[in-house]
Amino acid sequence: MIKYTPECPFCGKEIERPAVTKTEFGEVLSGKCSCGAVYVCDPTGRNAGEAYMEALALAKGDWEIGQLNQDGDYRTSDIDYDLKTHQRVYSGGRSVKSGKLIFVSLSGMETELVEVEKSPVIEEGTPEKGSLKDRIRGLLESGSYDDVVKIAQKDKGVLRWLVSLSYDKEDVISWKAMESVGLIARAFSGDKVSVIRETTRRMIWSMSDESGGIGWSAAEILGEIIRNNPDEFNDLIPIVWSFREEEMFRPGSVWAMGRIAAVRPDLVSFIVKDLQEIMDDKNPLVRGYAAWVAGILGDTNIAEGIRKLLFDDSQISFYFDGRLLKKTVSEIAKEAINKLSK
């Protein structure tokens, strides 16, 4: 692994270390090249999707990023980056753990960052002391969801931090973050509904071809929003389900249907006709989630499909009641059959 001075991929000039910058949509670890390109740092390399959206929003100055045309309005690039040493990482094709710098350059548009402080080096795994994101993570760890909702009612930037915490699905905090977005959607009413609607637009955009498919947890987040406010957001159900056609979003789309079905099975009963095929998917996550959803919907017409999974010993991570469990597809299928028999 080789490390060397980071440069802007658009103009080749050396860039400064990212600093904590304050914008109208929250604080971001970012910087700006003299050529006008904006860059955002993801110190862990696990939240590149959120960093990409932040860079777009920083460059444009607001969250109306869905209006951008990738063919003409902006260019994007990224490099492997070590924040601790402020160096670019070159691995020579080998798999290495590193952070990311996400760059966005807009065509014919000026960008402006408002720095509140030149922060000291923020080492990987050491969040800014007292930061909102750090505080939210602590509340999620303790299961204090009501407190998260209360803070969100005063600061909508909480939603962005929750999304940024949602990408590592082997971490229970990610699932708690998704669940919290849904609880906020339930609490927001009246004129605040527009805040959630804007979040749903960003989630759908992040799953689109225009975004490069960066919304790794978008389907699950949308499912939580719909589950907690189905009267307002049920129009999104067909959209979320349509993303099952995309392999990377298929598990999340099926999971979302299960979460909605648990409270409003009538809204997702139309998916029964597709579940048989879904239960034959090559991905054990998809098969396990499909059996789980089938058990919730209780349609005996797909019982045979569930029985085929009774000997599927593939193990998956399954979030339930604040815990991330390890379960086999066969265990989930047995639970679904038991529900059908009742």
pLDDT one digit per residue (tens) for the chain, 342 residues: 567 789 898 888 899 999 987 766 567 889 999 999 999 998 888 777 778 888 888 888 766 555 554 444 678 888 889 888 899 987 544 556 788 899 998 865 444 443 333 333 333 333 343 577 788 999 999 999 999 999 999 988 899 889 888 988 999 999 999 999 999 999 997 778 988 998 898 888 888 765 555 678 999 999 999 999 999 999 999 999 999 999 999 999 999 999 999 999 999 999 999 999 999 999 999 999 999 999 999 999 899 999 999 999 999 999 999 999 999 999 999 999 999 987
Helix (H) or strand (E) holding 42: strand 38-42
120 within domain boundaries: no
Q: Do residues 72 and 160 both lie within one domain?
A: no
Tokens of 66: 């869905």
Task: State the Cα–Cα distance between residues 120 and 128, nearest whole angstrom.
Answer: 10
50 within domain boundaries: yes
Q: Do residues 131 and 248 both lie within one domain?
A: yes
Q: Do residues 275 and 181 both lie within one domain?
A: no
Q: Do residues 268 and 297 both lie within one domain?
A: yes
CATH of residue 289? 1.25.10
Q: Are 186 and 228 in contact (CB under 8 A)?
A: yes
- What is the predicted pLDDT for the residue at 296? 96
Q: Do residues 292 and 214 both lie within one domain?
A: no
292 within domain boundaries: yes
Q: Do residues 45 and 14 both lie within one domain?
A: yes
Domain boundary among 115, 135, 156: 115
- What is the predicted pLDDT for the residue at 214? 67
| Number of domains making up the chain | 3
Q: Which of 233, 207, 201 is nearest to 63 (CA)?
A: 201
Domain boundary among 72, 92, 115: 115
Q: Which of 144, 217, 231 is nearest to 185 (CA)?
A: 231
- DSSP-assigned letter for residue 243: G
Task: State the Cα–Cα distance between residues 113 and 59, nearest whole angstrom.
Answer: 9
Q: Could you list the residue range(s) of the whole structural domain that residue 64 is in? A: 2-115
Q: Do residues 133 and 236 both lie within one domain?
A: yes
Q: Do residues 277 and 329 both lie within one domain?
A: yes
- What is the predicted pLDDT for the residue at 128? 42
- What is the predicted pLDDT for the residue at 94? 52
63 within domain boundaries: yes
122 within domain boundaries: no
281 within domain boundaries: yes
Domain boundary among 255, 284, 304: 255
Q: Do residues 45 and 65 both lie within one domain?
A: yes
First to last CA, the chain: 58
Torsion sign across C-alpha atoms 299, 302, 304, 307: negative
Cβ contacts of 117-120, under 8 Å, gap ≥ 24: 117/19, 117/20, 118/19, 119/19, 119/20, 119/29
220 within domain boundaries: yes
Q: Do residues 188 and 275 both lie within one domain?
A: no
Q: Do residues 100 and 169 both lie within one domain?
A: no
121 within domain boundaries: no
Q: Do residues 188 and 214 both lie within one domain?
A: yes
Q: Are 26 and 157 in contact (CB under 8 A)?
A: yes
Tokens of 123: 């080492």
- What is the predicted pLDDT for the residue at 177? 96
User: Burial of 61 by CB count in 10 Å (0-12 exposed, 13-18 middle, 19+ buried)?
Assistant: middle
Asked whether the whole model's pTM tops 0.85, one would answer no
